[in-house]
Amino acid sequence: MSREFSLTLEGTTYKVVVDGNSVLVNGLPFVVGFEPEGNRVLVDGVSYDLELSEEGHRVLVGGIAYDLGIEGLEEARAGPRKDSAAVAGEGAVTAIMPGKIIRLLVAEGDQVEEGDVICILEAMKMENELKAPRAGSVKALYVQAGQDVEMGAALAEID
């Protein structure tokens, strides 16, 4: 389920649609995630320092503070949260957006480390590396190369 809100940054308002790790800002796609250590956010594979203030909506990116005006955030938060990884289990590798699996880099039974690339998802003319969320054995592969997938679809399971 997607969530929508408006964000105003330095006088410019942006429409934000969040669905899992896929984020559309004024219709442009971004893949967003958080690094497990520290307050760092990944936006299309680039890492940024992130600090949220208790006093309103202020974000610190790369040492520069930005005041944010956010409309509709409370409604977006209140909506049911669909966390694909939680639904499918801690070791699930899921599609971050609709697209086509163009390459599988592992087979069932392979041992992987956290962060190893499991498969390549082509979406919007970009290749996205989908990585193992933890170390373990590839318990199951639910897709094959050339297969179209929907966002949130289970692609593999790491045991």
- CATH number for position 120: 2.40.50.100
Pick the closest to residue 3 from 89, 74, 51, 56 (CA basis): 74
Q: What is the DSSP letter of 81?
A: P
Tokens representing residue 51 in the block? 């600090």
Which of the four pLDDT bands, split at 50, 70 and 90, describes residue 112?
very high
For the stretch 4-13, pLDDT in tens is 777 777 778 8
Domain boundary among 53, 78, 103: 78
pLDDT in tens, 15-30: 877 776 667 788 787 7
Q: Which of 78, 99, 121 is the last residue of a domain?
A: 78
Q: Is the pLDDT of residue 119 over 90?
A: yes
Based on the domain organization, do 59 and 9 belong to the same domain?
yes
pLDDT band of residue 108 (cuts 50, 70, 90) is very high
- The 10 Å Cβ neighbour count of residue 44 is 12
Tally of domains within the chain: 2
